Structure 1
Amino acid sequence: MHSTRRARTAGAERGEERERPEPSNEMRRRLVHLDLKGAPPRAAYLAEVLPLLRAMGATGLLLEYEDAFPYAPPLEALSAPHAYSRTELRQLLGRAAELGLEVVPLVQSFGHMEFALKHKEFAHLREVKLFPNALNPHKEEALALVRAMIDRVMELHRDLRWFHIGCDEVYYLGEGEESKEWLQQQGNTPEKLCLFHIKAVASYVVSSYPTVTPIVWDDMLRGISEETLAGVSPVMGIWGPTAGAAYDLGLCCRPGCGEQRYDHFSVLCELFPVAIPSLAVCLQALENGGYSEKVKENVEKLLGMSNLELDTFMSTSTGTFPGSNILTLVTQVSFYLKSSVDELLERNRYVTGWFSPYHRKRKIIHPIIMHHFQPDAISLLSKWNAVVQDLQAAMEQVFHKCTVEEWMEENVHPSLEKLQQVVDDLDKAIKAQN
């Protein structure tokens, strides 16, 4: 399809406009990008979700493993304590095959290398000594690490046609000492440096696994001329995520990218079960050529939701799909927890006027005033404790304990602890009065 792109460019220069040919239906692929870094769902939950993804319109999975893959020695440091076991992955991949879902593994090989370069045994392979983001493209040992990761992942996958080598967001490329020296040589540019490493990784995939085509994200290549890209296009495909289709090597694919984290060290962006309605709409819209009332009805039926409209998310139930109870409870917390606590502590005149931080510190409380807000504070705390207890139990069915703790600390504890503290202070003040 590269030739089609160049033909259109050449035609445009002559004042002509040629349409890009539409790929046939059998070439259309809709891959769901499962970003597993830092907080992978339990394997049992993913197995439960796979049939739903297929029904929603997915034709395959783009599995970005990072530290969720069970790397064997000498790469065992790359695997998180909650990484999948080899048995779990074999069963999951087998289930995907049964459902007709094509699997494309994704192993980051240039940028987004924090999961590897944060470890002391690999820190010397960083492009910039202080930052674990990007791999140093000049070190043979860096390429050896990438080759080893690819080999380990390949061992667990069968009948692959595509293998994604990442290569997006290679921050600080060219800023390492070796790169600065290389760039001083005549004719060398950051773009050439980027392609040098990408081609080395892609060529390894092609030479070691002749039936597999390597794929990269397109963001680092957008400013590079087509003439320069032509030197690497025979050995790899270039994908653009979500917003547009990528036409390369006979492939039309729209991978739906919903990142779990922006990078390995950032907070969680979203919980997978909460994102399922949005994912379902995207998949159905792609399958049906756009959003429509039919798409809305299809999604509501698939997910067991009475209505996709936002105001219905305030209801007690928001679906029957796997993890829908998490969506229901997260929605309650997201919309109401902070606002209800702030309403009591910052806008209730009895609290702000008669039980301010000054009063709380000195355990001062007017006996009449406490009756105006103590019941409300205790009732609100009891309600949210019950909701949070249900949410924690639901999340533990889908995620490992560390993920549940992180989400709670980021989204629940700040407000709940404020509410608990004012109830405790109120109790201490009443006892001091007595």
Structure 2
Amino acid sequence: MSLVLQLRSERAKINTMLQALAKLEAGGEALSAEQLSQFTTLEAEFNALTDKISRAEQAERMAAASAVPVSESAQGRTSPPPGHISGSGPAEAPGVRMAQMVRLLAAAGGNQQQAAQMAQQGGFSTDVAMALSTVTPGAGGVLVPQNFATEIIEALRPMSVVRKMGTRSLPLNNGNLTMPRITGNTVVTYIGTETDIPITGMTFADTKLSAKKAAAIVPISNDLIATAGISPRIDDIVVSDLAVSMGLSEDLHFTRADGSGSLPKGMRYWAQAFNVLPAPSTAGITLEKIDLFCGGMMLRIETANVMMKDCGWLMHPRVFRWLQSLRDGNGNKAYPEIEQGMFKGYPVGLSNQIPVNLGTDGNETEFYFVNFADMMIGEDMDLTISFSSEAAYKDAEGNMVSAFQRDQTLVKVIAKHDFGPRHVESIVVAVAVKWGAGM
């Protein structure tokens, strides 16, 4: 444990005793002379420790700022990539500093003090060395500094389809956010010269977001950890693994989670009943029916008095490939723009997190037309990571895998966020979709 953490732990114990004495007095019990003397002593010790912590933190920041490599030619387990400049590092790419922090902590077996020394001696970025020196342990692992957490959330944007389509990210203050939404617009009318102006106004409701805990487990090869400083591509791999795992979880829950228990509510369950439409059956379907149905989905939002900004489709690749294969009577592609990822003038987002085994026969899916500018992700910047080289996890096929047997280290990432729309009318869902089921 670092000196800063040790001092903070001692101060926390003293604070507990101080609070106990204060509660006695607040409850109407008069403190004895001995208790008053004890309170004064504890108060002095608390203030002295606070000063020590301040000096220790400043010393660690100075040590991190002056860190240099032990050997200019050092390469290997803890050294920076070739071309790395001590004290700066390739921190421009989103998530790189977070990846370096994760790898060093994993290499040190979660020991923060050892990881900080490795960062200093290996010549990593001063930001990484200082973060490892001053970071505090949380309930489920190590709390990631907010500037690093912000970077990894930015790295999620190209990985999470829901984010990539234009969903807005907003901070959750103290884990909560309340956003007013308009449910009825002001009515403007023309009047005569001697006619009273009618009283009218907007009607509002609230969308309330509260932090929900999401966890992702990322297996990292111990070979990658052991060669941490040899190639800058290692950082890209770690960032990508973190972002993909978290992005898949977000897409699954922001799309279809039902909001029960600790889950956020996804678009499927935010959608109003009149905007949930059964798709035409594939039996006897024609291009005209497809056009009318999809145009009707678009019309629902176009007539909802919302700004048509960042609208798009969200579907499983099965539906996309089926639409791509459609031909008109002359053999031409019915929707040629689909080759550019567009359908009926709007971009398409593809996600395997939308199931294709819905319905009684297990062959149905859904697809969505959404005004993503009205979708919100409330972000709590408290990102927590923890490590294990002995735990087991389930792979994509549902098989249990031993990290110890595979020579891997598991990184558990815990994030807190919530999802909701500013206007529920901005979500239209096609259900009972069997399009492409026979492909």
TM-score category, normalised to shorter length? under 0.3
Greater per-residue helix proportion: 1
Higher relative contact order (CA 8 A, sep 6+): 2
Q: What TM-score, normalized to structure 1? A: 0.23
Q: What TM-score, normalized to structure 2? A: 0.23
Greater gyration radius: 2
